[in-house]
Amino acid sequence: MAYLFTSESVSEGHPDKVADQISDALIDNFLAFDPQSKVACETLVTTGQVVLAGEVKSNIYLDVQKIARDVINRIGYTKGEYQFDGNSCGVLSAIHEQSEDINRGVDRATKEEQGAGDQGMMFGYATRETDDYMPLALDLSHKILKELAVIRRENNEITYLRPDSKSQVTIEYNDDNKPVRIDSIVLSTQHDDFDENEERMLAKIKNDIIGILIPRVKAQLKPEIQALFNDNINYHINPTGKFVIGGPHGDTGLTGRKIIVDTYGGKGAHGGGAFSGKDPSKVDRSAAYATRHIAKNMVAAGVCDEMLVQVSYAIGVVEPMGIFVDTYGTSKVNLTDGEIAAKISEIFDMRPSAIEDRLKLRQPMYSETAAYGHMGRKNEIVHKTFRTPDNTETSLSVELFTWEKLDYVDKVKEAFGL
């Protein structure tokens, strides 16, 4: 029986994502000067105010206020009328040293003996639905908001956009779990109050989104995905009416509140732990990346068309509690999912230190993850420069999204006889 599936995304200007980006910018700055930094940093943003709290163990001193302001300005909160802008908002830091009770479970005599930074279970997922092995509804939701941000910065075709926005895409699937059409698209975007006639203003916004944004998004897609767009899509553009008050002034933001946007849009599963603001000793983050790496390489190697991988840990314990696999009946090998999981344990070392080394996680690579999803992104090398308050400068080449590499496909094929 045909069914509908929906995923959402939020923009870099969404209050929760502002908080995520500040937390991850702090992570990057600590790691740039002290790669062994241990950081767990939470951010709260509200009207005219930023609060930083958490635990840090590092050899470097940073101007956390400047880092936060730089992030806010880069996102686009640069006007006093937003009631939240990088140059004038207050920034309160309540960051303190990491607990020794936690640290003793992580730091050991040798790096290989490093224990997990917390207990919990983490999930990774991959599907053949898109070229980047991500669920289609989430992939489209992200693309819509990325292009909306490009249009906002161009300030040319549409000149009234503000940073806060959300999208949602609903897709109809057939009995074979194949997407057949886009049923609906929801988009709410913050905007200037540019017309005293609200009905006329909302009509222009809807026309611009459908007539300018959506064609630009479609142009980026493969023909078979373009074919899912149709004249019967049910559009809901700013469905509650005008959206002038937004961002942290309209809704308080907190680190870690968009974990489904960050991962698979509701497909697969999620262990519940957020990513942003955590250094890679926290397996909430590193093991979620590792399981995505596993699932993507397994699907790309032809083991199955869809895969969910779960791993679980105990705080301070080196080896994971276990690995679980679900191939959703799409397996191409003559093995049970349990037998596939056992082979995964032989191919991929899931000790925390091994994950850090394999995915190069002690680089300042996290700011780019903090908006538009941590998974399905482009693996590339970028150059970054960081400065301390005393003007010490370091420039680094940083490899982003290492968990998206298909560097284990040959090993998987050999192990499974493919």
> 386: annotated binding-site residue?
no
Q: What confidence score (pLDDT) does residue 105 get? A: 53
Q: What are the sequence ranges of the domains in the chain?
A: 3-10+136-245, 15-108, 120-128+262-416
Closest CA to 283 of 266, 294, 271: 271
DSSP string of 22-38? Answer: HHHHHHHHHHHH-TT-E
Q: What confidence score (pLDDT) does residue 351 get? A: 94
Query: What would the CATH number be for the domain defined by 120-128+262-416?
Result: 3.30.300.10
pLDDT in tens, the chain (418 residues): 689 999 999 999 999 999 999 999 999 999 999 999 999 999 999 999 999 999 999 999 899 999 999 999 999 999 999 999 999 999 999 998 765 555 555 555 566 667 676 788 999 999 999 999 999 999 999 999 999 999 999 999 999 999 999 999 999 999 999 999 999 999 999 999 999 999 999 999 999 999 999 999 999 999 999 999 999 999 999 999 999 999 999 999 999 999 999 999 999 999 999 999 999 999 999 999 999 999 999 999 999 999 999 999 998 888 889 999 999 999 999 999 999 999 999 999 999 999 999 999 999 999 999 999 999 999 999 999 999 998 889 999 999 999 999 999 999 999 999 9
- Predicted confidence (pLDDT) per residue in 285-344, tens digit: 999 999 999 999 999 999 999 999 999 999 888 888 999 999 999 999 999 999 999 999
Handedness of CA 361, 367, 373, 379 (dihedral sign): negative
| Cα separation of the two ends of the chain | 33
Q: How far apart are CA 301 and CA 340, in angstroms?
A: 13
- Fold entry, domain 15-108: GMP Synthetase; Chain A, domain 3 (3.30.300)
Residues 6+ apart with CB under 8 A from 232: 181
Q: What confidence score (pLDDT) does residue 120 get? A: 87
Q: How far apart are CA 403 and CA 221, in angstroms?
A: 23
CB contact at 8 A, 33 and 285: no
> 143: annotated binding-site residue?
no
Domain 120-128+262-416 in the same topology as domain 15-108? yes
> 229: annotated binding-site residue?
no
> 405: annotated binding-site residue?
no
> 267: annotated binding-site residue?
no
Q: How far apart are CA 374 and CA 276, in angstroms?
A: 10
> 14: annotated binding-site residue?
yes
> 251: annotated binding-site residue?
yes
> 165: annotated binding-site residue?
yes
> 353: annotated binding-site residue?
no
Query: What would the CATH number be for the domain defined by 3-10+136-245?
Result: 3.30.300.10
> 108: annotated binding-site residue?
no
Q: How far apart are CA 302 and CA 126, in angstroms?
A: 12
> 164: annotated binding-site residue?
yes
> 274: annotated binding-site residue?
yes
